[in-house]
Structure formats: C-alpha cells, structure tokens
Structure 1
Amino acid sequence: MTSGFDHLKLTKADAEMLDRLVDVGFEIDQLAYLTPEDEKRAKAILHMLGFLDAYPVEDASDTLIHATLARIDQYEAKHSERMQIHTPQLETTKRGFRIRIPDLIGVAAMVLVTVSVFMMISKSARNQSLNNECASNMAMVGRGLFNYALDHDGNTPTKQATQVASLFGGVAPEQTDAELLAEQGYCEHNHLNCPGHGEESGGFSYQTQSADSWDAIQKQGKVFFLLSDRNPVLDKILAKQEYDPYTPSPAHGSLGQNHLRDDGSIMTGAAPV
C-alpha cells in the first residue's frame, strides 16, 4: 500500500544535497566541487523550495502577538524576581527607621542559632584540647615511672593510702607515689594533674592495691592501669554518697576518661575505672 505523499519523499542524493544547502544558507554559489549533476540537483531543490515563498499565508493576529509578548514579559519578570535578594522593608519615621517586628524576631532567631552553634563548637574544641593535654601529662608520668624503675632495680615509688583503708578492711593499701617522681625530677608537678580538673585537689586517681595484690599483679605479667583521670565514683564512695557506677569523668566533657597502663600506653574509656 502506497501513501499519497510518496512523490514528496527525497532520495538519498537529494537529502544529502539539501543538507549541504542548509549548511551554506541556501547559497548555491557557496557550494564547492559541484558536478553538473549536483548543480542540477541543487537548483531543482531550490526551485521546489521557492514554492514555499510564494505560498499565501494570513497576516499574523495582533491578539496572538500581544498574548505571546505578554507571556514573555511575565516569564522574565518572575525570573528576575527569583534572582533578587529581598531585604526587610524599613518604615521611615520622624526619628529614623522602624523595623517590622516579624523581621526583627527572624533576625534575632538567626543570631541565637549562630551563637549557639559557635558555643557548641568552641566547647567541643576546648574539651578536645583538655583531653589531649591530659593524655600528654599522663605520658610524662609514665616516662617518669619507667626511668625511676630503671634507677631503682625495677621498683616503682609507692605509699600507703590511708584515706581508703576503710575499703580494704581497715588495712591501708599501697598506691603509686607520683609526688615522689616530681620531687626527684622524674617529671614536673604540673604533669600530675589534668588541666580539666580545675580547682579540684588530688589530680589523677592512682591504682591502689594491698602489698600482696601488687606482687601478684606484677607476677602475672598482664597489662593493668597505673592511673587515670579523677574517679568521681571513688569520690562519692569516700564521701558516703550515692553514686552511679557509670558516672563519666567531668575533666573533659563527654570525651571519656584517660588511663595510663603499665606498658606506657594511654587508653581512653567511657566510664571511670
């Protein structure tokens, strides 16, 4: 079955010539390397297209033109409005300007949000700085203990912890004597405290065991804690107050608690030990 428009279809050669004419703006003189057959084909296509120029058309409707221009103007106006940044309108008075209350509330809310975020970031940075300095102080105490042990046949300085004797059946246990390290120059006095403890006395919390337990622990060859951040649980126990066994150290916010192990490494834990 054939279509009534089959006679209007272009051959492949005609289609290629039409593409060439389009490229040169239908100027046949701009076509290069034309054979007599190509030139004849090009003129035939131009002659066929000439009928379109002579085809009668109605004059454009003024209503359609105006509607089209109005639509274009409307689109450009909306686009321009989206690209503008609007500032709150100021009402002029005899004494100056008056800002609308809703605008003032919005600005105040933005300022509060900005200040809150800044304070949170500052607090987090401060806590991290305190935590790092605390771990550095512990490392210096660990180095002092190591050097002391080298100078004293492997022994570390200890003292009796009479303040916690009640927890050991009335017998005063022993704990690391870090003050002796500072007095004999194995570390500095400021190394015995976390900068986040503030005005609290006592500095770090030290491993406290009976003399027999100390010997047993050292013979086992296991890694154990020598000292840690101030233990709020122990403070509550000594003060005979109720306590939560998972109370975090307040020394550096919610970043946990630092511990110095007997191998010289620093460990951070969520809860006090």
Structure 2
Amino acid sequence: MTDGFDHLKLSEADAAMLDRLVDVGFELDQLEYLSSEEKQRATAILEQLGLLQAYPVEDASGTLIDATLARIDQYEQQRAARLHISTSEITATSRGFSFPKLDLIATAAAILLCVALVSMFAKTNRDHSIQSNCATNMAGVGAGLFTYAEDHNNEMPTSSIDSLSSLFGGVSPERTDANVLVVEGYCDHHHLNCPGHGGQGGGFSYQTQSAQSWENLKNRGRVFVIMADRNPILDDLLAGGTPDPLTPSASHGALGHNRLLDDGSTYTSVAPPIIGNDFIWLLDGKNRRIDIFLTH
C-alpha cells in the first residue's frame, strides 16, 4: 500500500500508520487502541496530508474541457461506425448478394465460435451422462451381490483366475464373478458394462484376493471396495512392468472413477486411486489382512 509514497521517505513506523489510516478512510477516531506516541504520529501524518488539500488549484480550462468532450464524441462516432452494418455495402449480383469480405470473415468466426462452444457443452454433458450411467450399472451389480449373499449364507460369487497366479506367488486367486449374478438372475447383463469403456462391453475391475484373504473379508472392520472402473495398469503388471500405481482409470478421464463399496454405496472419486496406504490397482504385498486389488 505504501509503495506509492516511497518518495516521501517515510519511516517504517510512519508507513505502517499510513496504511492503518488508509484502512479507516483517514478517520483518526476510527483507529482503536492507539498509544499516545501512535496518536501523535497519526496526527502528524494527517497534518502533512492536509497541506495537499490546502494547495491552491486553478479552475479547469474551459477550452481543455471542450476539447476533451469533442474527442470523446469523435471516438463514440467512430466506434458506432465500426459496429454499423450498412446495407449500401451489400450489392446484388446474379448469384445473390455480395457482402464485404471482412464482414464475411467476422461472421464466419462468430459462427465457428458458437459451434465450438455448443460442441464443448454437448461433450461435457455427454461425459457426465456416461459416468452417471456407469454408476447406475455398478449399483445394479451391487444390488445383485447383496441379494446373492442373502441367498448363499453371506458368500460372494467368486471364481479362480489362473491368469493372475504370477502375482500371487503361483497360486490362483479368487475374483468376484459378476457373471454368476447374470446367469442366476440377480442382475441384468448390461449392468456389467461401463459405457465409458469405448463400447467394448465390460469395463469394470473386481476385487481379487487369495482364498485366505476372502475368509478375512468376512470379519473386516472397514469399508471395502468391491469393484471400480477398469484397472489401467493391470496389463503392464502382468507383463512384468512397474507402472505408476496412481495412474487414473481412463474410462471417464478427468471426471474421476466410480467405485462400489461393500455397504452398497457407489461414489465418484477424483482423488488418486489409493485408500489409506493401500493402492487399489496394485497388490501391495505388505502382508495386510485385507489388500484391495481390483482386476478384470
């Protein structure tokens, strides 16, 4: 605030007091809790500023005012002329009407801008709709899982996955098998599809555990992820690579990814794919009783 008064060579205390006076509109009685020294300092600053008010100023020149107003009027006339579309500039030809080239360029640019904006909003709405449909399908799977568990002594439908044994020390893990729900009528087939997966069908990744870990899940003490959008690093893991475990799912881009929890709720997360210290795309191998790992 005091940078503009550096030429006055104010002391640090004077500069601070000037800032306080500015904050209260130079009303001394609005400053609270002033010591006698601070009050004297504030009064001295106000007296110096009072000299500016007493400085004699001549009345503005009438000629200068007239010239300024004329210049403003000229500017407004020129601006109005630029915005005005004159029909005399439009000529009739045997093929229709001929418009000035600059007008055509400006009109084309405006049309292109409108088209771009409409396309952008349409894409955004479409992306949100796709993500919403994805969450709805996921909720359908969740409802099927709960009904299945009620009918099967709280068991989850799982199947052995030999292709993932290399990640489990040579032992085939068990993965949530949503196809069982479709076969036995607990949900519809379209519930297994994420519409953001490029129309290829599927698109979800499911909880995958060793047989022993599935037993531990029955006595779990925290909310657990059953399924989510597609694991983007699984193929790299199976190929022996070391992908970034924080890689976001590609199904919905910057909108985040959907998750289904064991309490039946679905939600969209834009946060990194990690819960606590547990990476959901990765088998952490830290001897946890529960190690979230989503595969497809």
* Fold shared, TM-score > 0.5 on shorter chain: yes
Deviation at 1:253, TM superposition (A): 3.6
Q: Which moved more, 1:114-123 or 1:193-202?
A: 193-202
Deviation at 1:102, TM superposition (A): 1.9
For each residue in 1:122-141, what CA deviation from the matched residue of structure 2 results, as whole angstroms up to 9, or x when unmatched?
11111111111111111111
Deviation at 1:101, TM superposition (A): 2.2
Q: Give the aligned partner of residue 111 of structure 1.
A: 111
Q: 1:176–1:102: structure 2 CA closer, same or farther, 3 Å change rule? A: same
Deviation at 1:267, TM superposition (A): 2.0
How far apart, CA to CA, are the structure 2 residues paired with 1:95 and 1:140? 61
Q: Give the aligned partner of residue 155 of structure 1.
A: 155
What fraction of aligned residue pairs are identical, expressed as a percent?
A: 49
> Is residue 136 from structure 1 mapped to residue 149 from structure 2 by the alignment?
no
The alignment's C-alpha RMSD in Å is 3.2
Alignment of 1:1-273 (within 5 A): 86-87=84-85, 89-93=89-93, 95-239=95-239, 243-270=243-270, 271-272=272-273, 273=280
Unaligned runs of 5+ in 2: 1-68, 274-279, 281-296
How far apart, CA to CA, are the structure 1 residues paired with 2:130 and 2:122? 12
For each residue in 1:115-174, what CA deviation from the matched residue of structure 2 results, as whole angstroms up to 9, or x when unmatched?
111111111111111111111111111111111111111111111122222211221111
For each residue in 1:177-221, what CA deviation from the matched residue of structure 2 results, as whole angstroms up to 9, or x when unmatched?
100011000000110111121343543100111111222233132
Q: 1:117–1:243: structure 2 CA closer, same or farther, 3 Å change rule? A: farther
* Other structure's SS at 1:105 match: helix
How far apart, CA to CA, are the structure 1 residues paired with 2:125 and 2:240? 35
Q: 1:117–1:245: structure 2 CA closer, same or farther, 3 Å change rule? A: farther
Unaligned runs of 5+ in 1: 1-70
The one-letter code matched in structure 1 to 2:158 is T
Aligned residues: 203
* Other structure's SS at 2:254 match: coil
Q: Which has the larger radius of gyration?
A: 1
TM-score by length of 1: 0.65
How far apart, CA to CA, are the structure 1 residues paired with 2:247 and 2:102? 45
* Other structure's SS at 1:171 match: coil
The one-letter code matched in structure 2 to 1:147 is T
